[in-house]
Structure 1
Amino acid sequence: MSGELNITLTSNFKAKPQSDAKLGFGTLFTDHMFVMDYEDGKGWHSPRIEPYGKFCIEPANMTLHYGQAIFEGMKAYRTVDGKVKVFRPRDYLSRMNRSAERLCIPKIDVEFVRGALMKLLSLEKDWVPASEGTSLYIRPFIVAMDPFIGVRPSKTYRFFIILSPVGAYYPEGFKPVKIWVENKYVRAVKGGTGTAKTAGNYAASILAAEEAKAHGYTQVLWLDGVERRYIEEVGTMNIFFKIDDTVITPALEGSILGGMTRDSVLRLTREWGLRVSEQPLTIEEVYEAHDKGTLQEIFGTGTAAVISPVSALNWKGNIITVNNGDAGETSLKLYDEITGIQYGRCADIFDWMEEVE
């Protein structure tokens, strides 16, 4: 890492939303962004905060042709006492380095980038909405910059952090969603890129998500790519099952993204003394538990929704309803606790929140 952090302020400030109720997700961006470049032999250099805007790439840009790109997603919140705090920034940036390693992208200096992020957030504090459920979404990402037609790692990269004020994920309240169990397509296999937060994983999931939506389902539940039996994750979330008073989630064995909210849920449930297991789990076992009456809850976990309770599963046309279609007590408690920590209503016993000065 070379160079001091340079800051160039915009001369054309954007009008901020007059109402948090009008915020969507990922459509509005703040005045400034963080940018940093990489070159072989020079490393990461020229870190800067500058006005948010377009940047030029050549038609032969390697990201456009070969998808060498990674990203992260985290959030900053305005707490009940008016402070601005970020949820687990070091952990998210450390995960970005794990994705970088898998995609042959040079790793970032986590502490330097965290400091630059906090400076960017300090400049953009007024963009952080204050209403319950709203936040400032933080999107760090790295793209290859070489103009080259040929499959190899790029020799140049650009790293960005952009910010977007976002509305409540549940504009109509905390309600369960219906999930389509995907039986035709696969998301990842062990040894692939399923453990990395890379653009291609999401592109490959779009068709299945669109087909699920056409059938009236909100998300896709992916099964393993070999036997098509073992549960992996939902399209944008990790997945949990409460069966016979045990909270179960698939183990991270090389094809599942290790979510920060997943990790937060595991730490909280263990802190509460619940029985918790990270283990292989088949879709047949879930349906058998439902038939026996021991399937108590299903819920997803992710940065955007935090906790997303599941009301129903559809696997090969066999539909089961979970907890009478209502959110379960564990998912409700977890949602209240994690959002309580994020907004400053609950004690932050794990020191997950970092204040922006």
Structure 2
Amino acid sequence: MTLLDAVHSLRRAAPQRIDPAVWPVTTQVDVDGRLCVGGVPLTEVADQFGAPALVLDEAEFRYRARRYRVQLPERRTVYAGHALLSREVARWVAEEGLGLAVRNPAELAVGVAGGVDPSRIIARGCARTTADLRATAGVGRMVIGCGTEIALLASQLSRPQQVLVDSADLAARVLHQPMLRLAGLHCRAGEIKQALAEMAEIRDRHDIELPELNIGEVDADDSAADLTELDEAIDLALDESCAAARFPRPIVVVEPGHAITARAMVSCARVVAVRDGVVTVDGAAPPVNRQSVAVANRHPLGSTRPVTVLGRAGEVICAQAILPADLHPGDLLAVAGPAARGDALTTRPPVVVVRDGRAHLSVRRETIDDLLARDVG
């Protein structure tokens, strides 16, 4: 029974409690008014694994990853791991036939540990050190953003490395390095025409036609209409640019990240205090502000009112949440979108995977002992 199929008295409240454009498709309300994701009541997640917690809907994640691959068959889809990455997520990515984009050696290690073929990994990053470049060399593609990285990377290689750059000038420098192989260009989604002009310039200057264009992270939703619109926009830009430059159509690589994860995640936290229109919970503000908060442990009773929801550090989780007027400490709130993983002086919440009415721990909660173990001063 989905929320919209619940008892008649809840139908009017559905738009206020759950926005179907934000929450996972599997979000439901049981007869006790508890929010359920993946068939699991969030109260059971909080009772078993503690709160705050990040709940990840496996079926939803897989569906959205698969949708990109199916709806964009002429594009190569690579999951942007910075959105959320664990060994289990990496395994899903590999099983759904996607590549993986990583930003640092830690993400690379997790991806490989999860079963992603290194040849299907793209490594990028800002201000990378020699150690960073050495650690990520050997993957399928490395995105190089400056001349310094070209020289540093070439000095660390024992075998040829495929690379992507973002300009004809950097391409010329790569072509002078015998251990580097220029695979294509990297650009933003809105810069396809400029990138094709650069690829044509590289062809004219160096007599080489690059076969690949990586347009980075795309933020389209996974709906058929949005993905069709994205695909048509790419095709239009390619048609115009390739015709103008008389350049063959390259393979286009897209890197959805939050477009896959945002609808698959719900964070939950318990109410600690309610005072003067301000609700404080024991969680933290999500990095992607979805602005949708709901009571997870019961039917809303009586009237509602707008409140500001704050995290335990006083940060704003939602500035204008419509919640029951009788909200009280101990209630469980759910926030559509990911939970903050914390910083160096907080313990990070667990990641709990739900599917088909079952929940299991995917990433355990960080403890005070974990923090102290790293502090060796």
Q: TM-score, normalised by structure 2?
A: 0.21
The structure with the greater share of residues assigned to helix is: 2
Q: TM-score, normalised by structure 1?
A: 0.22
